[in-house]
Amino acid sequence: MTKSQAHKEALLSKIGDKSAAVGIIGLGYVGLPLAIHFCQAGFNVIGFDLDEDKIDMLGKGQSYIRHVPAEPISAVLTGGQFQPTLDFSRLAEADCLLICVPTPLTEKLEPDLSYLTSTTRTVQQYLHAGQLVVLESTTYPGTTDEMLLPMLEANGLEAGQDFFLAFSPEREDPGNKQFGAGNTPKVVGGITPACLEAACALYDSVTTAVPVSSTRAAELTKLLENTYRSVNIALVNEIKVLAHKMGIDLFEVIDAAATKPFGYTPFYPGPGLGGHCIPIDPFYLAWKAKEYDFSARFIHLAGEINVAMPYYVVEKTADALNQHRKSINGSRILVLGIAYKKDIDDDRESPGYAIMDMLMQKGAAVCYNDPWVPVLKPTRKYDFKLKSQTLTPEFLSKLDAVIIVTDHSDYDIAQIVKHAKIIVDTRNATAGITAGKEKVVMA
């Protein structure tokens, strides 16, 4: 048996009997649920993060993500399976390292891989023979073999021989109660066949691995998934604007079209795109396409339409106020919901922020309510320093307009419509409400 075969067989044996220590770098919306799931599947997990507050809370069995309950964190801590830490020297203790760090865009809509580059340098310091390294962060095709591979091989270790390197895109959907880490298949691509075998063995132990021919194929798979959603959401957003001009209820049309049992999948319009994936991932693909002298026109057009939706919401709000002989300047406007989708506390890339910013620039007195996001924290673009306002009949009646950005299940929409003067509904949240319907403007 060669040295490389010995490394692989030893790792496969550890994965098989679940004695392999799993290290997860980045305990955010992706890494934390993944860590819990690996623990629940019988592995010991070391969780790494640079945020001292996160590590402190997790070390006490508390969750800083509202839709991730504290109970399973406390349970795996008590059982000794989960060890959150700031000490990155412990990377050397892990048999399998999963990288789940942010990969945002710059202001010029280009990939920002600074977090990934920094993390890879740290992993390279502690990398040793027999380890498996898997990148889960979404990125452009070629990142794993063009960037990670040479950095990790800099100390003389060879991928597929001494250590194993793969890409398996995260498929976390925050707040989804039907699909999670345990029943969502994992696409896996390896640098070599041995790398693929090792990574598939790891993911097969907790879910179903879907092997593909290369890391590039796996990277493109994730971008295809979210570009598909971005393009279809852009399509329905554009048709929404047309339907409003035609006086047609688009939601009625979508529901009617959805009765077709083949060839159609319903997508729904909204105030714009939010979350870490759909607003960002297509631009990674479009950026990489330039290297091949290819213009991804469809992707760019979808991005332009989706980015424009907050402007459309503000325009419809101005029209509604004008009908009441008011201007945006000086109006008191409530943004209802700041999370990017209902019933989660994830506000990353929320269109609500862009809407608030535009309203403030036009002179509006803007406030917000979100039971899932009690305080607005600084983002890469915005720093509003606002707290969620309590919804009372008196408070609502003093507002000039309410914009429904996120239709959380907690909201009593009928009561909000009853007491507010103007409702700008971007989510069809007021469907089925008859009393006060004359106050509602669809956007």
**Helix (H) / strand (E) containing 186:** strand 186-190
Task: Enter the DSSP assignment of 361.
Answer: H
**How many whole angstroms separate alpha carbon 356 and alpha carbon 144?**
38
Instruction: Look up residue 331 and give its two tokens.
Output: 């109006």
Q: How far is CA 71 from CA 25, 47, 248, 253, 415, in A?
A: 22, 17, 47, 43, 34
Q: Tokens 């959401």 — which residue?
A: 233
CB atoms within 10 A of CB 325: 6
The residues, ordered by sequence, that sit 6+ positions from 422 with a Cβ below 8 Å of its Cβ are 320, 321, 324, 400, 401, 402, 439, 441
- Please check whether residue 163 is in contact with residue 131, taking contact to mean a CB–CB distance below 8 angstroms: yes
| Distances 164 to 21, 24, 71, 95, 247 between C-alpha atoms, Å | 15, 16, 34, 10, 58
Q: Which of 195, 200, 277, 367 is catalytic?
A: 277
Report DSSP state, residue 398: T
CA distance to 214, 314, 383, 417, per residue, from 438 (Å):
56, 19, 35, 10
- CA 281, CA 111: separation in Å to the nearest integer? 9
277 catalytic residue (yes or no): yes
Biggest CA–CA distance in the chain, Å, is 83
Coil/strand/helix, residue 332: strand
Q: How many residues does the chain have?
A: 443
The Cα 333–Cα 313 span in angstroms is: 13
* β strands within 191-291, DSSP E: 209-211
Q: Where are the alpha helices (DSSP H) in 149-214?
A: 149-152, 193-204
- 25 bridge partner residues: 48, 99
Measured distance CA(210)–CA(197) in Å, rounded = 11
Residues involved in catalysis:
277
